[in-house]
Structure 1
Amino acid sequence: MFYSNSWTKCLICLIFIASGNAECPKPQVEGNVVLTNEALLMNDFPEGKEATFQCANGYLKEQGSERITCTSGKWSTLELTCKKKDCGAPREKPHLKYEFSEEGTLFGASARAICDKGYQLTGPSYRQCYATGWSGRPRCDVVTCDKPPEIMNGTITEKPGEEFPEYGGVIHYSCNEGYTLIGNKSIECNEDGEYNSLPPECKDVNDIPLKPTATISITTTSSSTVPPTIRDVNDIPLKPTATISITTSSTVPPTIRDVNDIPLKPTATISITTSSTVPPTIRVSGRNNCVGEHDTKSATENAAVVGIVISTVIVALIVLFILYHSYKRKGSYQMGEDPSRTKELLQFQNN
């Protein structure tokens, strides 16, 4: 009986000692929290030991306790919650703006630097939101052009105060007396660092080469054969139709903008020629108001016969007229009469 009670007491003591020395495993890290340096250096986590956590880099404490406790070989629940750090909007600078990623201005976000027109970026093109704030320091500097070029026989009348004109700067030129300005009288510095045009030139008017005048000739010929209206044989065209040509000439004065456009020779002539064919109506004799090849031939033959008859009659009349007068001058009506009869006839004629 004595031995039994003693063994029971010893067993209870051993259980108590064993349970009092129970340890917890090393705490596990999850999410955006990490163990502190102090907790990382600990190797044993006995009963009642505490472990300390903190927010990861780039995160800030939102709420909850940073500590957990080892109880009966298990850790208590961690109540710490963290959120991303907000870098805020980058500091404003002249002629500089940003385009942000989906994260906006929170930790891990990026922003692209953009300069206004006429300005160029100096420094990084992107900025990153880190735990310490935005990285990089970009800036926008104004674009400049080379020193304005001088021109012969002319001067610069107006220019910006800087030695190297900035974007938008305008340089004005003028020519000396007796010279004419050829080209643009002013040039401007562009956003790419170049002038928008070449500087002008100053030349003596007498040295300006003559421009050859060009003659533009436009000829439009339209030929149209309109069939005549045939009412009878008188309207049949017997010969090729006539062609009427109409030529129109107009002088267009040139548009003068500068000395390059001064015409030194007669201006160009534009000639437009239009031709049209109008069939004439030629009338011939016909019959029964019929139209045909046979009627036309018959009318022509009849006209020829009538012409021959009339010509023969006229020739016969002329011959008779000549013979009559010739016979009268000789005083004899019959060339074969005897002399005595001729004498009587002459005597009778004298009486």
Structure 2
Amino acid sequence: MFISNSWTKCLICLIFITSGNAECPKPQVEGNVVLTNAALVINVFPEGEEATFECANGYLKEQGSERITCASGKWSTLKLTCKKKDCGAPRKIPHLTYEFGEGTLFGASARAICDKGYQLMGPSYRQCYAIGWSGRPRCKVVTCDKPPEIMNGTITEKPGEELPEYGGVIQYSCNEGYTLIGNKSIECNEDGEYNSLPPECKDVNDIPLKPTATISITTTTVPPTIRVSGRNNGIGEHDTNAATGNAAVVISVISTVIVALIIVLFKLYHCYKRKGSYQMGEDPSRTEESLQFKNN
């Protein structure tokens, strides 16, 4: 009986010791924290063992401890917190600006934009990585082709570079005895083209004189127009027909009056002629007899 009690006590002590030294499972990774390389190679975590964490790529430590401890088969609470890395504004480059639609934190992207007259060389977008902004865009000034020469004229002024850059102006002039036709200067635009064609130099004797303008006056009889307000305060088809009819009536009346005046004047003329014969003392009957006598 004594031996049995002793074995029982030994078993209880063994169980207590074994349970007190229970191992912890491999720590689980969550969020933006990861196990360090040293913790990753460990497969057994006995009582009192520590595991270390660090912030994931692109994140920085904000606060808290990186360590947890195995106690009674369980891990202590991890208090490490991490935040995204801020890449900040990219380094300034001449004639280049950025459009930040997502900010400057890890994972965000920025659009590169060149000033007017400059073209983008390199990627049009940059992304914030753990090591900073990706890509190296730059802006190159736009250039035009070599300025064209002209016949019977010369280039009097042009930029110093062989290929004119954006905004460069080329001046032309004609030789003696020639007249410049067109623009005397051309400018290099933002699209790499000149704003106009170069001028021409024409012989002054070959330029035709401008014809003298003649003024012709045409008399047109316009019939009177009668405006009648319609739905839209305009003249409709009915209004036009009415105006045409009224004009015809007016013209007819004027014609009648003119004919009447001609008849009246004709009658007055004959009356005046007869009156003159009476004043001269001529007898119509005697005149007739005289005419018969002469005929005989």
Q: TM-score range with shorter-chain normalisation?
A: 0.7 to 0.9
Amino acid at match of 2:56: A
Q: 1:261 is matched with which residue?
A: none
Q: For residue 184 of structure 2, what is the aligned residue in structure 1?
A: 185
Describe the SS at the equivalent of 1:38: helix
How far did 1:38 drift?
Answer: 1.1
CA change 1:281–1:73 in 2 (3 A) is farther
Return the alpha-carbon distance in structure 2 between the equivalents of residues 165 and 3 of structure 1.
110
Partner residue of 2:52? 52
1:318 aligns with 2:287: no
RMSD of Structure 2 on Structure 1 (CA): 3.3
Worse-matched range after superposition: 212-221 or 134-143: 212-221
Structure 1 distance, partners of 2:208, 2:287, is: 86
Q: Does 1:167 align with 2:133?
A: no
Q: Partner residue of 1:233?
A: none
AA matched with 2:136: R
Aligned to 2:104: 105
Tell me the residue number matched to 2:148: 149
1:229-240 pair list within 5 angstroms:
239-240=255-256
Matched position secondary structure for 1:173? strand
1-side partners of 2:107 and 2:45: how far apart?
35
**Contact 2:33 2:54 survives alignment (8 Å):** yes
* 1:240 positional shift: 3.8
Cα distance, 1:323 vs structure 2 = 6.7
Cα distance in 2, alignment partners of residues 322 and 101 from structure 1: 124
Which secondary structure state, in structure 2, belongs to the residue aligned with residue 7 of structure 1? helix
Q: 1:7 — aligned with what?
A: 7
Match of 1:115 in 2: 114
Q: CA separation of 1:143/1:323 partners in 2, compared to 1, >3 Å: closer, same or farther?
A: closer
Aligned counterpart, 2:40:
40
The whole-number CA distance in structure 1 between the counterparts of 2:254 and 2:23 is 137
1:42 Cα deviation from its structure 2 partner:
1.2
3-state SS of 2:47 partner: coil
Q: Distance in 2 between matches of 1:238 and 1:42?
A: 125
Taking structure 1 as reference, are residues 72 and 44 closer, same or farther at Cα in structure 2, changes over 3 Å only? same
| Structure 2 unpaired stretches of 5+ | 225-246, 291-296
Partner deviation per Cα, 1:48-91 (whole Å, 9 max, x = no partner): 11111000000000000000001001000000000000101000
1:7–1:214 distance in 2 versus 1, CA, 3 Å: farther
- Secondary structure of 2:201's aligned partner: strand
1:23 lines up with 2:28 in the alignment: no
**What residue is the counterpart of 2:227 in the other structure?**
none
When residues 159 and 238 of structure 1 are mapped into structure 2, their CA distance, relative to the original with a 3 A threshold, is closer
Distance in 2 of aligned mates of 1:137 and 1:20: 59
Cα separation, 1, equivalents of 2:283 and 2:64: 156
Classify 1:194/1:241 alpha carbon distance in 2 versus 1 (closer, same or farther; 3 Å). Answer: farther
Residues 205 and 107 from structure 1, CA distance in 2 versus in 1: closer, same or farther, beyond 3 angstroms?
same
Identify the residue that residue 244 of structure 2 maps to in structure 1.
none
TM-score norm. by structure 1 comes to: 0.65
Residues 1:216 and 1:132: Cα distance change in structure 2 (over 3 Å): farther
Q: For residue 45 of structure 1, what is the amino acid of its counterpart?
A: F
Distance apart, 1:7 and its partner CA:
2.1
CA distance in 2, matches of 1:35, 1:27: 8
Q: Bigger radius of gyration, 1 or 2? A: 1
CA contact (8 A) 2:21 2:72 kept: no
Instruction: String of CA shifts for 1:174-207, please: whole Å, max 9, x gaps.
Output: 0000000010000000000110000001010222
Q: Indicate conservation of the 8 Å contact 1:238/1:282, yes or no.
A: no
Residue pair 1:181, 1:203 contacting (<8 A) in 2 also: yes
User: Which secondary structure state, in structure 2, belongs to the residue aligned with residue 19 of structure 1?
Assistant: helix
Asked if 1:64 corresponds to 2:64, the answer is yes
Letter in 2 for 1:30: E
Matched positions, count: 257
Q: Letter of the 2:205 partner, please give it.
A: N
Q: For 1:83 and 1:213, how far apart are their aligned partners in 2?
A: 85
